[in-house]
């Protein structure tokens, strides 16, 4: 703690002494406060202001002079692409932030993910609100194939993945039981789980299997992202390859997922799906939200809420035996981005309407992103 405080003070002092700073205006055009979203400042614009600055020697401060946690984004490459931070902007107003050269602090992580080979090749990721995992090929022999998304509900802002896995693998406890911080109480099986996507052709889902390779792209403190590649599988009468890129920001209940399919030269329908259970039921959303929502009643374990939001036109919202589905069209060669995630009645979502309100507001913010203006 002393080391962190010292770094924080040094960063503030150096940034405050530097007369050269880059002004950033964040504009909110919605009639609600926005305090959890991440904004991106293109690194090319920062380098125009600070051509000699090292990526790790840039700090962000608010108009009161307080240091704001930030992260340089590489998206798996060698060159920095963005500097991101989490502003606070009141309704129908703007807030001013500054970027300058300085010594960055060791910010406490609010987003984290990693490959988990010790648990049969899981990939797990989390932020200060929620956690998820997805399955690698090592698990097929034990549990069969699954390319769905698993949700871990939390009621702590701390990172839990490493501790929960360590406790589970050592036999000290199990993350399937609520240990005071949350639990993995969601069952995926041979389904899309909590919002994964698959081709939906001739009213049938064409499911792939577990991922065969991964690449971590960025990893905290504000955003964790990674890319998964899947073995070829049949989609209708065509063999396709799937690549998923997943990204989770601090403060968000939903992961951003970008899908790419190769192997077909014709458009086809895809669907994000939420697995249905006997103890579950859909939560209604207005058409303009372009999403689906579901509640899964776990009794004393609370209600797990799941949702998915499209950013492309909705073809259909429907149900089959196993899933609640929302479908859109996939165009070969064009990346398709959507959002999927979960919440918990024991941490922030105590009614169906509170989860619906969250998804409705999230969708509104997707359509009306915060504006980043550099002066």
- The predicted pLDDT at position 106 comes to 84
Peptide bond into 221 cis (omega under 30): yes
Is residue 125 helix, strand or coil?
A: strand
Q: Which tops the pLDDT comparison, 10 or 81?
A: 81
- Beta carbons of 291 and 340 less than 8 angstroms apart: no
Model confidence over 278-327: pLDDT tens digits? 999 999 999 999 999 999 999 889 999 999 999 999 999 999 999 999 99
Predicted local confidence at residue 316, as pLDDT: 96
Strands 291-297 and 280-283: antiparallel
Question: Is 372 inside any structural domain?
Answer: no
Whether the pLDDT of residue 3 is over 50: the answer is no
22-28 and 82-85 beta bridge pairing: unpaired
- Would you state the pLDDT for residue 360? 98
- The two structure tokens encoding residue 89: 């902007």
Tell which residue, 279, 365, 368, 291, has the closest CA to residue 324.
291
One domain for residues 245 and 303: yes
What are the residues whose beta carbons fall under 8 Å from the beta carbon of 40, sequence distance 6 or more?
A: 73, 82, 83, 84, 372
Q: What is the largest CA-CA distance in the chain?
A: 65
Q: What percent of the chain has pLDDT over 70?
A: 95
State whether 210 and 163 are in the same domain: yes
Q: Do residues 310 and 216 both lie within one domain?
A: yes
To 10 degrees, the CA torsion angle through 67, 62, 102, 112? 50
User: By residue range, what is the domain housing residue 134?
Assistant: 111-367
Please give the tally of structural domains in the chain.
2
Tell me, yes or no, whether 93 and 213 share the same domain. no
Could you tell me if 69 and 22 are in contact, meaning their C-beta atoms sit under 8 angstroms apart?
no
Residue 231 vs residues 210, 244, 300: alpha-carbon distances, Å: 8, 12, 39
Q: What CATH number is attached to the domain comprising 16?
A: 2.60.40.1180
Q: How far apart are CA 101 and CA 114, in angstroms?
A: 30
Report whether pLDDT(263) > 50. Answer: yes
Q: What is the arithmetic mean of pLDDT over 237-249?
A: 97
Q: What is the pLDDT of residue 192?
A: 98
Higher per-residue pLDDT: 67 or 10: 67
Q: Do 305 and 361 share a domain, yes or no?
A: yes
Q: Residue 15: what pLDDT?
A: 43
Contact, 346 vs 273, CB < 8 A? no
374 within a domain of the structure (yes/no): no
- β-bridge mates for residue 49, sequence order: none
Segment 64-120, tens digit of pLDDT:
999 999 999 999 999 999 999 999 999 999 999 999 998 877 899 999 999 999 999
Average pLDDT (49-59) is: 92
Average pLDDT, rounded, for the chain = 94
Confidence of residue 4 (pLDDT cuts 50, 70, 90): very low
- By C-alpha distance, which of 248, 324, 225, 249 is closest to 284? 324
| pLDDT tens, residue by residue, 198-232 | 999 999 999 999 999 999 999 999 999 999 999 99
Q: What is the pLDDT of residues 25-47, one digit of tens each?
A: 999 999 999 999 999 999 999 99
Share of the chain above pLDDT 90, in %: 90
CATH of the domain at 263: 2.70.98
pLDDT at 19: 60
The DSSP bridge partners found for residue 72 are 83
Same domain, yes or no: 35 and 116: no
């Amino acid at each position: 703690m002393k080391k962190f405080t010292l770094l924080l003070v040094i960063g503030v002092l150096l940034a405050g002494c530097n007369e050269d700073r880059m002004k950033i205006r964040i504009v909110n055009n919605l009639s609600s406060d926005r305090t959890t979203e991440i904004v991106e400042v293109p690194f090319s614009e920062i380098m125009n202001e600070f051509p000699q600055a090292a990526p790790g020697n840039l700090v962000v401060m608010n108009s009161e002079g307080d240091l704001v946690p930030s992260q340089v984004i590489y998206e798996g490459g060698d060159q920095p692409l963005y500097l991101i931070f989490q502003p606070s902007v009141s309704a129908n107003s703007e807030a001013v932030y500054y970027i300058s050269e300085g010594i960055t602090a060791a910010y406490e992580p609010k987003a984290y993910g990693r490959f988990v080979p010790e648990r049969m090749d899981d990939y797990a990721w989390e932020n200060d609100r929620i956690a998820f995992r997805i399955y690698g090929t090592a698990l097929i022999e034990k549990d069969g194939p699954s390319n769905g998304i698993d949700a871990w509900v939390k009621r702590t802002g701390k990172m839990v993945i490493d501790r929960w896995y360590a406790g589970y693998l050592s036999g000290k406890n199990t993350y399937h039981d609520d240990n005071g911080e949350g639990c993995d109480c969601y069952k995926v099986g041979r389904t899309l789980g909590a919002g994964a996507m698959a081709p939906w052709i001739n009213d049938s889902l064409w499911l792939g299997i577990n991922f065969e390779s991964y690449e971590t792209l960025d990893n905290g403190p504000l955003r964790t992202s990674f890319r998964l590649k899947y073995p070829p599988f049949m989609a209708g009468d065509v063999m396709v390859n799937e690549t998923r890129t997943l990204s989770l920001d601090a403060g968000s209940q939903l992961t951003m997922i970008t899908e790419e399919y190769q192997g077909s030269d014709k458009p086809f329908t895809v669907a994000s799906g939420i697995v249905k259970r006997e103890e579950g039921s859909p939560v209604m959303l207005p058409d303009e939200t372009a999403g689906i929502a579901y509640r899964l009643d776990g009794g004393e374990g609370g209600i797990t809420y799941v949702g998915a939001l499209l950013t492309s036109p909705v073809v259909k919202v429907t149900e089959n035996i196993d899933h609640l589905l929302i479908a859109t069209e996939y165009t070969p060669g064009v990346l398709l981005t959507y959002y999927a995630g979960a919440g918990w009645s024991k941490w922030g979502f105590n009614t169906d309407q509170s989860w619906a309100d969250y998804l409705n507001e999230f969708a509104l913010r997707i359509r009306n992103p915060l504006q980043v203006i550099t002066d």
